[in-house]
Chains A and B, each alone.
Chain A
Amino acid sequence: MTHAVIGHSVKRTDLLDKVTGNAKYVADMPLAGLLHAKMKRSNIAHARIRRIDASAALALPGVKAVLTHENVPRVLHAGSPHPRSASVTCDQYILDDKVRYWGEGVAVVAAISEEIAARAVELIEVEYEPLPAVFTVDDAAAPGAPLIHDREPGGNLVLPPVRIERGDVDKGFATADFILEGVYEGGRPTPAYMEPNVLTCKWDGNGNLTVWISTQTAFMVRGIMAEVLGLPLHKVRVLVDHMGGGFGAKQDLFQSEFLCALLARETRRPVRMEYTREETFLGGRTRHPARVWLRQGFRNDGTITAREAKVVFNSGAYGSHGPGVTNVGTAAMVSLYRCENVRLEGRCVYTNSPIAGAFRGYGVVQTYYALDIQMDEAAAHLGLDPAELKLRNAVREGDIAPSNHPLIGHGLEACIRKGIEATGWAQRRAETRQQQGVIRRGWGVGCEMHGSSAYPGIKEQGNAIIKMNEDGTVVLLTGAAGLGTGAHTALAQIVAEELCIPFDCVSVVHGDTDVVPWDIGAFASHTTYMVGRAAQMAAGEIKTQLLARAAAQMETTPEQLDIANGVIAVRDSPGPTLTVREAVMPRKGLPAAQFVGTATYHPTKSYSFAAHFVEVEVDTETGFITVAQVVPVHDIGKVIHPVAAAGQIEGGIQQGIGHTLYEDYQIDMQTGRSLNANFVDYKMPLAMDMPPIHTILLEAAPDPGGPFGAKGVGEDPIVAIGPAIANAVYDAIGVRFRHYPIRPEQVLQALAARAGEARP
């Protein structure tokens, strides 16, 4: 069924300002009297602050205020306080008398220029009393390890272990024909969004605070700032216009928010804090490094009798999204490949390392790397084709998903089948069997599924308010953040489709917590699914009111009327029509209609699926792995905006290639010092490193819970690409890697070990 507006790649409303340079990001906004804030960061990973002296800094001309732990409120709070979240970690102070990772903020300065603020930061004297530091989860979880946080459940655990059990695992292993076991490890990629973290705070004379900030979660920022600063919500206004990327990681508070507000209050001037690129590494959020121990029992036909896994996530110095990532990443392992008997355990451990937080994929990147690669290992063990074996085991309609709901549709199966056909898979794999030479090629497949919305961890809701103007045009008020994904365009398309009016009759208002309805924030791939559904419902309300009024004017009943392209007509009848504008506008004696539609949607969960087919090249002399091409096949239900959806997939693939082959944010394992907090040595794949990507979008399993059957897409690509690459490398050189990133040296060492040579 073709639709009038959705399913078409309409011109996005936000792009004109972006391509002309007119889009204003927080650092672009001029404000009279603006002060600049800089943070002093620790050069030690674990220490008590014995003495901190800001007098020299305060004496520097141009410095207006300095804050240390001695003069900020001491309020324990959660770094990522998602309201109604299943578990939230309250382990942060604005500034503490202890530092827990190298680079943690210990003081801030506000001055008339960034340069003076930076100089003042150098003049602050700090005396540290070193504490023993632990950088690995094994060291941190060992009995007697130094405690990084003195809080429940103790033992440097962020939360009590997550335990999930289904069926009878022991019986499952007993009936297995063979068992595979392995340890799979994930390194430390970071989101590396192009716009460094930034915010500006300003108070007015009545104690109202305005915050301009690059964040994905404006209402969360409002909520926690109000709480910590002791303000009611209507006195805190958070504004988000354009923001330069987040990928999940701008869903936290970074110390800077409170500090900026406090500096602004003390100096009575607006204060802006803009991170340097280095600070986005030091003070930002990374993905959780992880270790997954996975053991599965298989029958000789490759189906799974039992699955047991223990996952350990490295939280870094604070809890941030530890509970969410642990829950979601661990729970995901009940699914993807069918298994009735499952026993899972997930832990999250504090270490004196950079803070791990939310990042696209949210624990599932790590656990599905293990799950998919082990399925590939089973295929190799049995001499079966891995795509066929994954198809055989793929979850299907009715299976209980990690959210405890039955899955809708056969999305994953459709993706795998399509990819097999589109790539000529059997032929590709036959070709890689026979090859000689220094450069070896290989093909691999990786599968994934990901839920739209953070249910059940967070009982989310999507809200929408729509007003129809007296000329029939429409304004959608939404709290959904503008990450740059094209979400607002998709929401406008949904509204236009539901109301049967042209796309350019809909405008979207967002980004002002005083105006738009409450929204949980843009993450968990839920904006299209959840807010889109709410927008559709609200549009439905408007449509009802509109048709009632039109019916009165047309002397018929609403049930007889249809709208198409902004024109209302009696069904199956030639005769006078009414435009939407005519229906609502004021007439002599009749006021204009005041139509407002509101909706709140409490979703459960929908799952999107993907199978990525990847060709790699391995240079067996240098160990370099290059991705030669990617054929990502995605089922996302009804596609609202094909170009925007493909854009999400291609971008996620870039990040996933980075995770698997290039990126790792490293620290010195003796001191905790950052080693590569810059773009020279934190290597993201660039334009010349990226392969051609031939995206295939399937509408195989629309979800009636989503608007017109649409589901999310943001996180799926980054989950599927990693194992696909690792599996392709196995096809190319017969070496099985169970970790990321895979370094060239490791490729050479593995090849040498396999050839039995001693290394020179």
Chain B
Amino acid sequence: MSADRSTPPGLRALWHARPSYYPRTLWALLLTLDLLPWPWGEDILARLFVARAFLRTTRLRQALRWAACQPRPRWRLALALCAYQGRLVAQASMLGRRGPDELRRFVLVRGGEHLPAPGRPTILLGFHLGAKGPDVALKLAGHSFIRLGGPRVSRSWLNEAWRRFLSTSQIVVPIDDTKFLSSALYEARRRLLEGGTLFTLGDGHGRPAFQLDLPGGPLPIRSGWLALRRHTGAVVLPVLSHLEGRLQVVTIHSPLPAVDPDPARDLHACRAALGQLVQEYVRRFPEQCPSLVYWDPDPGVPPDGTAEPTSEALHSGERAV
């Protein structure tokens, strides 16, 4: 694999880049595993999370409870969820991912035909389901858009190759800063009205617009993207991502119904369309849905299955609005 070996940041800078929700031990482990070539660190972390499940059984019990609601062997699914959670942490931290070039061949985008013609306001609506970073995968596949989300923190994101790749097209939202988030939403609206394409996450913490009822528990859907859709008439394309072995498959689905002037009917139509998509996703890839298992109602932490700030404090680096 070819890798962009631009000057890495110093160890001190990396250590100080630790987000508050990562405990020191986890951050040290991530920095160490990041020295290994991709995907070794990811594989190791997946196994560590399975081992840990037997030492700290709370998460294993949660996984078993959720797995019991799925039409799959319970123990096998619960352990797969634990492993996948480790994989998500590794993906969020971009372990071993030195630069964009080496990852392009591990990305496949389906459903590109659903994208409207350039110049039409478009929202690509991701979810905390499946493989991390569908926005990165889309960019690797050559798609152009503005990302509205939280700051990314990892050794790789400090790497010049990744910074060059992503720097020009982000509206970064600090976690839990309502006023800044509102100005970020306003900026996103402006870009959409200019005919731009925006990627953001539709599920997670924040004011819920509605919830999707799924086996094992509901998934709250946030209201920020709905406000942007209403104010701009943007086409909304749900984007779901899953892993097939090493390959990250990102599927762009057909657009949600156009905005209905009746708010209640509009919400109902969006809920029905998203519900169908997400239910099908969970049925096909339940092992890739730890966010549904480890949903934490604490509004300060994203629901990516890695959220437990007092112990693991793992973070997606993405912020839904």
| B is a partner of A | no
Q: List the interface of chain B (C-beta within 8 A of A).
A: none
Q: List the interface of chain A (C-beta within 8 A of B).
A: none
